[in-house]
Amino acid sequence: MTTGSVSGGAAQQSADTARGRLAGGRLGTLQIVFFVIAAASPLTVVLSTGPFSLRFGGIGAPGAMLATGAVLILFACGFTAMSKYVRDAGAFYAYVGEGLGPRPGAGTALMTMAAYGLCVIGFIGYLGVFADQSATDILHLDLPWQVWSLLFAAVVGIVGYGQIDVGAKVLGVLLTLEIGVIVVLLVAVLFQGGADSPSVAPLSVDNVFFADGSGTLFLLAFGAFIGFEGTAIYAEEAKSPERSVPRATYLAVGFLALFYTLSFWVVVYGYGVDGALEAAQRDDFLNMVFAQADQYVGGGLVTALRILIVTSFLATVIAFHNACTRYMFSLGRDGMLPRALGRTHPRMSSPHIASLVLTTITYVVVIVAMIAGLDPYLQLGTWLYASGVIGVVAAQAVCALAVVAYFLRDRRGHSALRVLVAPALGLVGLAIALYLMISNFSYLSGYTDPLPNALMIGATPMCFVIGALIRRRSRRFDAGQHPEQPSSPVA
């Protein structure tokens, strides 16, 4: 390589950094899928959300997962079609801005950024709890949750500061391991047989949609898919985004829907319908899957689950940290937030300043929670996670409306079924999900008093209002595109 080519490459990289461009061509379809599935944290969903769903929502948890996946696939039809024309690290920001206008776009961006940030901090609380339990059980190392939370917050910050493909490699390894151990359990239960004969009750319409507690089932189910739109967040960094983003979206949602449904159904099958409901009502209900692993496979699998639930949460926090920093980057690049957030690292082309800011905020909130004596799971974790779920699903609903509005003006050669009918049906499903989440919110928050619930429910929607009010004029929304990037698809 000649000196001239080196200096030319360095100059181009410097120019990209000055313009606030992320590194393009780093991520393939499977790497994007890893980020999205890791954000959903499938192992922790099976180990914790599954028993919780059975406890409060009844036997229809597997069917609720399948129905939720169907709603999100409908939404994804229009969402992925629009990804060919609008690419930005702040996916909902750009999509809603193009479909509904700059103020709703800005409001959605700030709401989504806040929702992801709340999830990051809440999951750091969860991570501290599970790391404490696992270290005590396996290593006989008794350190307080505070130590683990602060340690893992630093790990997440370091990974988020660096190159995006490094984070993808870490997530890929962790995700493969956590799915692998669940597959081992599923195979063992299916081959050895459950307590009773196989039952379709967990998939029946009555148990999924009309049983007492059905609202809780869907509240938890939509929470289990949170972050799937992350496929579009990475469009600027993707290889052939016009192909990789739609593929990654369908693969991620389809895989999660089938994985959750099968996993929940097999857990019920292993216990038997009555046995599963009985076990879910016990005080140690969160140990249901661990107990089943010990029964069907042995202590080795239990140990693996104890370790991988920690790495699963770590993968989740990394994925949400990456998503949040890309919204911060996009808002900084467009001037809604300080423009320093829109700068990228001169060598790694990562949104390093946004990552440092989010890591600092995480540390501050966690330390304040420690000083205040908040419970890391029921308060620090669940309060922030619950608010974050509301914000992300609300953003998905607004985006579904924006997709319909965008393609009503010009279908751009797509069929009406894909870009109008499917996302409209997805919007209906998301609206129903929001209603169920709000009406059943006390199950997540742990409060029956309406005031704390109202504050947590309203936290992220209030960010929508603030974002719409403080939105500044930017070239992207004025011209309908990013100043450095055309909004038409790349051939």
Residue 483, in any domain of the structure: no
Distance, CA of 175 to CA of 194 (rounded, Å): 27
Assigned token pair, 149: 């939370």
Domain annotation covers residue 488 = no
Residue 481 lies in a domain: no
Q: How confident is the model at residue 316 (pLDDT cuts 50, 70, 90)?
A: confident
Query: In total, how many domains does the chain have?
Result: 1
Does the pTM surpass 0.85? The reply is no
The answer to whether residue 149 sits within a structural domain is yes
pLDDT band at 110 (very low <50, low <70, confident <90, very high): very high
The answer to whether position 18 is within a domain reads no
Is residue 235 within 8 Å of residue 245, measured between CB atoms? yes
Q: Is 27 helix (H, G, I), strand (E, B) or coil?
A: strand
Does 76 map to a domain? yes
Q: Using one digit for the tens of pLDDT, what is the confidence trace for 256-282?
A: 999 999 999 999 999 999 999 999 999
Is residue 299 scored above 70 in pLDDT?
Answer: yes
Over residues 355-380, the pLDDT tens digits come to 999 999 999 999 999 999 998 987 89
Task: For residue 446, give every residue at least 6 positions away whose Cβ sits within 8 Å of its Cβ, in sequence order, or none.
Answer: 378, 382
Q: What is the CATH number of the domain that holds 101?
A: 1.20.1740.10
Pick 91 or 13 by higher pLDDT: 91
Task: Tell me the pLDDT band of 284, cut-offs 50, 70 and 90.
Answer: confident
Domain range enclosing 66: 23-474
Q: Which amino acid is at 143?
A: L
Q: Give residue 382's pLDDT band: very low, low, confident or very high (50, 70, 90).
A: confident
Whether the per-residue pLDDT at 238 is higher than 80: the answer is: no
Using one digit for the tens of pLDDT, what is the confidence trace for 122-132? 999 989 988 99
User: Is residue 392 predicted with pLDDT exceeding 50?
Assistant: yes
Helices (H), 135-287: 145-161, 164-192, 205, 214-224, 230-233, 241-271, 273-280
pLDDT number for residue 133: 86
Task: Provide, rounded to the nearest whole percent, the portion of the chain with pLDDT above 70.
Answer: 83
Statement: residue 416 has pLDDT above 90: yes
pLDDT of residue 405: 96
Instruction: Please report the pLDDT score of residue 2 as a whole number.
Output: 42
At 130-148, the pLDDT tens digits run 899 899 989 899 899 999 9
Of 116, 96, 108, 225, the closest CA to residue 461 belongs to 108
Would you say residue 482 lies in a domain?
no
Question: And the tokens for 298?
Answer: 């042995």
Is 337 a member of any domain?
Answer: yes
